Amino acid sequence: IGVGLVGFGLFFITFGILLYFDSVLLAFGNILFLSGLVFIIGFRRTFTFFFQRPKLKGSSFFFGGVVIVLMRWPILGMLLEAYGFITLFR
């Protein structure tokens, strides 16, 4: 179930970007991606991954970008998410 949710989430994010940053598709993709991640590695491990002390800056930018996309500012939200993603995994 988790791999399917992550796959559909990535599909909707990609499709939302291809359709000139459609905010509904991007928001749906973000929700599916995060819920799939919880299904794959579990709630506790997901929580500890995102809220470790050294990764707090990247997590705040990533989740801030998700919130901005949900508020229908898709380009700014995706830029914040991308910066947070790069900061989390460097």
pLDDT score for 60: 97
Say how far apart CA 63 and CA 51 lie, in whole Å. 11
Give dist(CA 69, CA 74) in Å, integer.
5
Predicted pLDDT of residue 28? 96
Domain borders along the chain are 1-49, 52-89
Q: Residues of the chain whose pLDDT is less than 70?
A: none
